[in-house]
Amino acid sequence: MLGGEDAFPADLAEWADNDLDGINNNADIDIDDDQMPDDREIVYGLDPPDGRDALRDSDGLDNLTKY
Ligand SMILES: [Ca+2]
Ligand SMILES: [Ca+2]
Ligand SMILES: [Ca+2]
Ligand SMILES: [Ca+2]
């Protein structure tokens, strides 16, 4: 959970855009643009705002390939 951080406090519909792709985090299914949806990152125990973790794995296969 990213609780509480709102970069646009004046606009309740506007939230931080973590990956700066023009889609606010609350509407963006992939907030780090690593091509793995955030819900899938959570399933794999990854960090949705971390754009590098989809390519980081312990078994030699990157998580993006497995996805
Ligand atoms: Ca975004
Ligand atoms: Ca992602
Ligand atoms: Ca995105
Ligand atoms: Ca990630």
Q: Give residue-wise pLDDT tens across range 1-31.
A: 555 666 655 555 557 899 999 999 889 999 9
Give residue 1 CA to ligand 4 midpoint distance, Å.
Answer: 13
> What stretches of the chain show up as alpha helix (H) in DSSP?
38-43, 63-66
pTM for this entry: 0.61
Map 3-64 to HEC letters.
CCCCCCCCCCCCCCCCCCCCCCCCCCCCCCCCCCCHHHHHHCCCCCCCCCHHHCCCCCCCHH
Give residue 15 CA to ligand 4 midpoint distance, Å.
Answer: 18
